[in-house]
Amino acid sequence: MDLRAFIRLVPDFPKPGILFRDITPLLQDPAGFRAAIEQLAAGTAAMGSLDYVVGIESRGFILGAALAQHLGLGFVPVRKPGKLPPPVLSQIYSLEYGQDQLQLHAHALRPGNRVVIVDDVIASGGTAAATAQLVAQSGAEVGGFAFLIELAFLSGRKLLPPEIPTHVVMVDESN
Ligand code: AMP
């Protein structure tokens, strides 16, 4: 199934110059949502044995939780600051202008756990890279990354460790 038909392109949202990929039409279609999860899952076969899906707030929660159920794995959320109760691990990362922070519950992952990190879109790669650093802080290992859409022209992959498998369902080469 071609999932592109389910992605709504919204110009100048949330800021001028951004072409926003709205995945809500995909989530609303049962066959489309199922196909998206199956196509995300297909790429995890190359990642070896996995213990958890780590989903990035907030659309990574929707895809990641469904993927975790599909794969028979547990789900661990990585959240924006102030949302998870303590104790938490924190990772600060750079945005185009300024900084942001992500948090992981300090006891969610243990050394020896292997995880796949999931989000809807990889753009500059900063969010996924910060999430990988959080996983490393906990002593767990990133077995792979899985994204529905890669904005390849932003070269976000360069921020991800090249030795770790990265699976993408749809690649957009421009804008
Ligand atoms: P980045 O850290 O630049 O890779 O940005 C990734 C995060 O921002 C993901 O959580 C995406 O959901 C969101 N994002 C970035 N660009 C877009 C876009 N064009 N459309 C939809 N979401 C986006």
% residues pLDDT > 90 (the chain) = 97
Active-site hit among 21, 59, 79, 157: 59
Element housing 8 (H / E):
strand 8-11
Domain spans of the chain, in order of start: 3-172
Ligand 1: which of 62, 99, 127, 131 to mutate, judged by most atoms within 8 Å of the beta carbon?
Answer: 127
Round to whole Å and give the CA distance between 131 and 59. 14
> Which CATH number is 3-172 given?
3.40.50.2020
Atom of ligand 1 nearest to the CA of 57: 10
19-22 and 52-56 strand pairing? unpaired
Residues 102-132: pLDDT tens digits?
A: 999 999 999 999 999 999 999 999 999 999 9
The pLDDT of 156-164, averaged and rounded, is 97
Residues 32-74: pLDDT tens digits?
A: 999 999 999 999 999 999 999 999 999 999 999 999 999 999 9
